[in-house]
């Protein structure tokens, strides 16, 4: 399972702090998406995370966790994605919280199921940018430098370009992907239609579709253009 993410093209991301009906969840899980990712920037707790996991587990789709805080550490996911926010102004989002997690859970961690991500936040108005104190207004060469940090220096398996709620610069995303040799490029932000999904898939290896799930379920399902 550890390397299966390299084959993913499309992922639906569900926020435990948001409400989704059983009907809509079934549509997502049976849609043909490559995985369901569970995670969010605020309001994520052990209880709402384990509740969402138990609901997704009714279906055969892989279910993975993206951990934003220690309260959201829940056993039973197929993989655990660990963000390292490379453009944060605060060290806690690069190594600090990770060190605390290792102090608490180090002896229990399923190391073979952990996938660290070099995270680059590029929407300064987003919740994740404010939470992580990200320097989100970066030039092209700065973003490429973050990608090089991810792959060449830290040797992380995933580089995640996160525009969080707005559709980003696909030329820049494509340039980042072309600069990477082995690291998988995830893209998330503003994918709310089939057309945007095609543009993002042309630029990145894997697209993450989130907010539109809670705005328009049919548009969310229309992003499955890779099948």
Residue 72 has pLDDT above 80, yes or no: no
Answer whether residue 104 is part of any domain. yes
Q: Are strands 206-209 and 114-121 parallel, antiparallel or unpaired?
A: unpaired
In this predicted structure, what is the pLDDT of residue 3?
Answer: 64
3-state SS, 11-79, equals EEEECCCCCCCHHHHHHHHCCCCCEEEECCCCCCCHHHHHHHHHHHCCCCCCEEEECCCHHHCCCCCCE
Name which residue leads in pLDDT, 101 or 189.
Answer: 189
- Cα atoms in the Cβ-side hemisphere of radius 13 Å centred on 66: 25
Residue 179 has pLDDT above 70, yes or no: yes
Mean pLDDT of 38-46: 87
Q: Which two tokens stand for residue 81?
A: 């994605």
Instruction: Describe the crossing of helices 170-179 and 140-148 by its angle, rounded to 10 degrees.
Output: 30
In this predicted structure, what is the pLDDT of residue 165?
Answer: 86
> Rounded to whole angstroms, how far apart are CA atoms 190 and 209?
8
Q: Which two tokens stand for residue 40?
A: 């969010």
Answer whether residue 119 is part of any domain. yes
Mean pLDDT of 3-25: 94
In this predicted structure, what is the pLDDT of residue 196?
Answer: 97
Percent of the chain topping pLDDT 90 = 76
Q: Which two tokens stand for residue 20?
A: 């989704």
Answer whether residue 227 is part of any domain. no
Residue 187, SS3?
strand
Answer whether residue 113 is part of any domain. yes
pTM of structure: 0.94
Find the CATH number of the domain harbouring 209: 3.20.20.390
Which of 20-24, 72-76, 156-160, 210-214 has the weakest average pLDDT? 72-76
Answer whether residue 205 is part of any domain. yes
Q: What is the separation, in whole angstroms, between the first and last Cα of the chain?
A: 21
Sequence-distant (6+) residues with CB within 8 A of 67 are 39, 73, 80, 81, 82, 83, 101
In this predicted structure, what is the pLDDT of residue 40?
Answer: 85
Residue 166 has pLDDT above 70, yes or no: yes
Answer whether residue 142 is part of any domain. yes
Residues, the chain, total?
A: 227
Which of 125-129, 154-158, 215-219 has the weakest average pLDDT? 125-129
The domain containing residue 38 runs over which residues? 4-222
Answer whether residue 122 is part of any domain. yes
In this predicted structure, what is the pLDDT of residue 67?
Answer: 87
Residues 185-197 have pLDDT tens digits of: 999 999 999 999 9
Name which residue leads in pLDDT, 75 or 223.
Answer: 223
Answer whether residue 34 is part of any domain. yes
Average pLDDT of the chain is 92
Instruction: Tally the domains of the chain.
Output: 1
In this predicted structure, what is the pLDDT of residue 37?
Answer: 97
């Amino acid at each position: 399972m550890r390397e299966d993410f390299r084959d993913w093209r499309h992922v639906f991301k569900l926020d435990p702090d948001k409400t989704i009906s059983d009907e809509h969840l079934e549509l997502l899980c049976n849609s043909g998406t490559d995985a369901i990712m569970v995670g969010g920037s605020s309001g994520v707790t052990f209880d709402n995370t384990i509740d969402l996991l138990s609901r997704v587990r009714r279906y055969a789709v892989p279910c993975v966790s993206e951990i934003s805080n220690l309260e959201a550490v829940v056993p039973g996911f197929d993989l655990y994605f660990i963000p390292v926010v490379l453009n944060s102004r605060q060290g806690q989002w690069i190594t600090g919280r990770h060190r605390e997690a290792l102090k608490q859970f180090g002896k229990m961690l399923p190391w073979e199921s952990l996938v660290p991500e070099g995270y680059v936040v590029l929407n300064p108005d987003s919740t994740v940018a404010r939470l992580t104190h990200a320097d989100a207004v970066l030039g092209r060469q700065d973003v490429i430098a973050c990608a090089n940090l991810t792959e060449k220096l830290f040797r992380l398996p995933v580089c995640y370009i996160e525009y969080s709620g707005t559709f980003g610069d696909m030329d820049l995303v494509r340039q980042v992907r072309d600069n990477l040799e082995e690291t998988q490029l995830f893209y998330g932000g503003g994918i709310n239609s089939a057309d945007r999904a095609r543009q993002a898939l042309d630029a990145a290896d894997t697209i993450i579709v989130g907010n539109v799930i809670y705005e328009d379920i049919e548009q969310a399902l229309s992003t499955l253009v890779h099948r």
